[in-house]
Amino acid sequence: MSFYEEALQANARYAEGFQYGHLPLPPARKAVVLTCMDARLIPNEFLGFNIGEVHVIRNAGALATDDAIRSLVISTNLLGTREIVIIAHTDCGMLTFRDDEVREQLQQNYGADASNLALHAFSDLHESVRKQVQRVRECPFIAKDIPVHGLIYHVETGKLEEVAHA
């Protein structure tokens, strides 16, 4: 059975006892987390929040890309969040490659021009977190009184390391 088929079965079981339809649209804890898509990161578990309490935005590397910033702008301006937490992690796949190498491989594998594909790989995890915090802080559409925190989640221990605040 494929993952898709298993997921549909799991959803049917979940829906039978579903009890969250009454939750309001804005997140109850007025916070938004930008983190990596890595399957080892379960932010509600290591940050201690429940369904309906925090927005979670995920992408490869926990990067403040234009699309992530778009979501942060919506979260803070339209849905009432008042705190932003950016969480990268150790052993991140984004540390294992360089954009130009992957673009070349994609060109060879698919015969399509990948020269404009920005993957945003990085070589320094701490510097990347600082850069993402700064990028969010510099956004003119996120209020300056909203704190932006940058952390690193250690996949080996489950502990968080503070890196930057703005």
Instruction: Tell me what percent of the residues of the chain surpass a pLDDT of 70.
Output: 100
pLDDT tens-digit map of 62-113: 999 999 999 999 999 999 999 999 999 999 999 999 999 999 999 999 999 9
Report DSSP letters for 61-117, one per residue: TS---HHHHHHHHHHHHHS---EEEEEEETT-GGGS--HHHHHHHHHHHH-S--TT-
pLDDT tens-digit map of 18-61: 999 999 999 999 999 999 999 999 999 999 999 999 999 999 99
Name all domains of the chain by residue range, CATH numbers in brackets: 28-165 (3.40.1050.10)
pLDDT recorded at residue 8: 98
pLDDT recorded at residue 70: 98
The answer to whether the CB of 134 falls within 8 A of the CB of 113 is no
In this prediction, residues 121-148 reach a mean pLDDT of: 98
